Amino acid sequence: MTNPRQLAFIALRDVHKGAYADVALDRVLQKFNLPDCDRRLVTELVYGSVRRQRTLDTLIDQFAKKKSHQQPQDLRTILHLGFYQLRYQERIPASAAVNTTVQLAKENGFAGLTGFVNGLLRQYLRKAEGQGGRGAGEQESRGAGEKDSLLLPQSPVPHFDPLELPENPVERLGILHSFPDWIIQVWLEQLGLNDTEKLCEWMNQSPTIDLRINPLRTSIEEVEAALQSAGILVRRIPHLPQALRFIGNTGSIQKLPGFKEGWWTVQDASAQLVGHLLDPQPGEVVIDACAAPGGKTTHIAELMVDEGKIWACDRTPSRLRKLQENSQRLNLQSIQICTGDSRHFNQFQNTADRVLLDAPCSGLGTMHRHADARWRQTPESVRELSDLQRELLTHTSTFVKAGGVLVYATCTLHPAENEEVISAFLAESPDWQIEFPSGIELPDSTERTPQGWFKLWPHRQDMDGFFMVRLRKTNNSE
Q: Which residues are catalytic?
A: 411
Cα–Cα distance measured from residue 244 to residue 213, given in angstroms and rounded to the nearest whole number: 8
Angle between helices 21-31 and 36-51 (to 10 degrees): 160
User: What does the alpha-carbon distance between residue 431 and residue 456 come to, in Å, rounded to a whole number?
Assistant: 27
Burial degree of 159 (CB within 10 A; 0-12, 13-18, 19+): exposed
- Please say whether the beta carbons of 194 and 173 come within 8 A: no
Q: Find the distance separating the first CA and the last CA of the chain, reported in whole Å.
A: 66
* Cβ atoms of residues 124 and 63 within 8 Å: yes
State how far the Cα of 297 lies from the Cα of 358, in Å rounded to an integer.
10
State whether the Cα torsion 298-22-201-38 is positive or negative.
Answer: positive
Write the CB contacts of 309 (distance below 8 Å, at least 6 apart in sequence): 284, 285, 286, 334, 336
Question: What is the bridge-based pairing of β-strands 454-456 and 447-448?
Answer: antiparallel
Is 60 in contact with 71 (CB distance < 8 Å)?
yes
d(CA 53, CA 40): 19
* Cα distances (Å, whole numbers) of residue 347 to 195, 286, 339, 343, 464: 46, 14, 13, 11, 34
